[in-house]
Structure 1
Amino acid sequence: MLSISKLLKKTGHQIFLNILTVLGVSICWSLFIVPAIFLLPIQWAIVFLILTFIPSTTAAYAVMHHVLEGKKYKFGMFLKSFLRYYRRAFLLGLVYSLAVLIPLSEWWYYFTINHSYFIFIFSVFQTYLCLTFLATQVYAIPMLVLKDCKMLAAMNQSIKEFMGHTWYTIGLFIQILCITVLISFTVIGFFLLFIGMLAVFVLNATRNLELDKKKETIIEKSRIEQTV
């Protein structure tokens, strides 16, 4: 299995080779994000993001997967992928939204209404649980794209991969958070590069697990043949 550092190097090379697609995908994705950030009131922005954020992210993953497979990008592919995966991605987005809104609402309650020590501890514990849950779902969107499975199947598979490769997944999750924070400081870079870069990285990380499984299967078969 490739380490996270080697995955980053591989991802950087693939991004360089497919930079125009990365830019195009990121711009298409940004068209769904810009209204929520700059145009809509906060209440409507939250609703808009719940409706479109994960579906548009899944579409970006689907396009980058298509390109990484050596196939050519076709005009309108992002929109087609958005519509194709919308229902499954929307349901997944609802689950993600709850995992984000629950701790945010708890911290809002602590800072604005109740400053008690108990609420602080409860907020910390709730944030830990939600972050852990999100870490178990790192592979859910890639599974929707790579295996074209249903939403619950993708979530279950992601949990299985987390349980089987816990420290690898935690390292991946931390890298995702770091990349998100760092690139967010450059607003233009965030809208032009972020989702395309992230899609390549997470897809590579997910494929890395599949390659590891294949190697284990080959080794197991050779052991069985030797014993026979």
Structure 2
Amino acid sequence: MLSISKLLKKSGHQIFLNILNVLGISICWSLFIVPAIFLLPFYWAIAYLAITFIPATTAVFAVMNQIAEGKKYKFGMFIKSFFHYFTRSFRIGLLFSLAVLIPLSQWWYYININNSYLIFIFSVFQTYLCLTFLSTQVYTIPILVAEDCKVIKAMNKSIKAFMGNTWYTIGLFVQIICITLLISLTVIGFFLLYISMLAIFVLNASKNLDFAKKEESISENRVEQTI
């Protein structure tokens, strides 16, 4: 199994080779995000992102997965993938939105209304639970686009992958947060590079687990044959 650092190097090489596709697909994704950031009022922006953010992100993963498999990018692939996965990715998006909004609302309540020690402990515990849930779902979108399966199956597989590779997944989750924070500091980089770069990295990390399982099964077969 490749380490996270080696995955970053591998992903960087693939990004360099497919830089035009990375830019083009990221721009398509950004067109869905720009209205929420620059045009819509705050509450409307939250509702808009809850509807479109994960479906648009899933479309990026789907297109980058096809490119990684050697297929050439064709005009309309992003929009086609967006509508193909919309219903399923919308459900995932609602769950992810709740996992983000619940701790945020709890911390807002602690800071603005009741800053007691008990509420602080509850806020920390609630944040921990939501972050744990999100980390168990790191592989949900890669599995969804790779197998074109149902949401429940993709989420269950992601949980199993997390349980079988806990520290690997936690390291991946931390890397996702770090990449997001770093690229968010540059507005141009965020809109032109971020999501395609992240998709390549997470797809490689997900496939790395499958490759490791294949290696284990091959080694087990060899041991059985020698015995």
Letter in 2 for 1:45: A
Q: CA deviation at 1:147?
A: 1.1
**Alignment-derived partner of residue 129 in structure 1:** 129
**Aligned letter for 1:150?**
K
User: Alignment RMSD, CA only?
Assistant: 0.5
Asked if 1:201 corresponds to 2:201, the answer is yes
Q: Aligned-pair distance for 1:84?
A: 0.2
Give the match for residue 12 of structure 2.
Answer: 12
Match of 2:139 in 1: 139
Distance in structure 2 (CA, Å) of the matches to 1:24 and 1:104: 33
Q: Which residue of 1 aligns with 2:172?
A: 172
Displacement, 1:146?
0.8
3-state SS, counterpart of residue 72 of structure 2: coil
Cα distance in 2 between the residues matched to 1:135 and 1:176: 10
Percent of pairs with identical residues: 72
Q: Once the two structures are superposed, what CA deviation does each residue of 1:6-61 show, in whole Å capped at 9, x if it has no partner?
A: 00000000000000000011101011111011111111111100100000000000
- The CA deviation at 1:226 is 1.5
Is 13-22 or 113-122 further displaced after alignment?
A: 113-122
Return the alpha-carbon distance in structure 2 between the equivalents of residues 100 and 119 of structure 1: 18
- Measured after TM superposition, the shift of residue 225 of structure 1 is 1.2
Structure 2 gap segments, 5+ residues each: none
1:34-183 → structure 2 map (5 Å cutoff): 34-183=34-183
Gaps of 5+ in 1: none
Q: Deviations over 1:120-175 (max 9, x none)?
A: 11101100110011000000000001111110110000000000000000000000
Once residues 137 and 194 of structure 2 are traced to their aligned partners in structure 1, the CA distance between those partners, rounded to angstroms, is 19
TM norm structure 2: 0.99
AA aligned opposite 1:85:
Y
1:25 and 1:17 map into 2 onto residues whose CA distance is 14
Runs of 4+ in 1 over 4 A off after TM superposition: none
SS in 2 for 1:75: coil
Q: Which moved more, 1:110-119 or 1:206-215?
A: 110-119
CA distance in structure 2 between the partners assigned to 1:52 and 1:220 by the alignment = 44
Q: Tell me the secondary structure at the aligned position of residue 72 of structure 1.
A: coil
Give the Cα separation in 1 of the matches to 2:38 and 2:119. 33
Match of 2:80, as an amino acid?
A: K
Q: What is the CA distance between 1:111 and its match in structure 2? A: 1.0
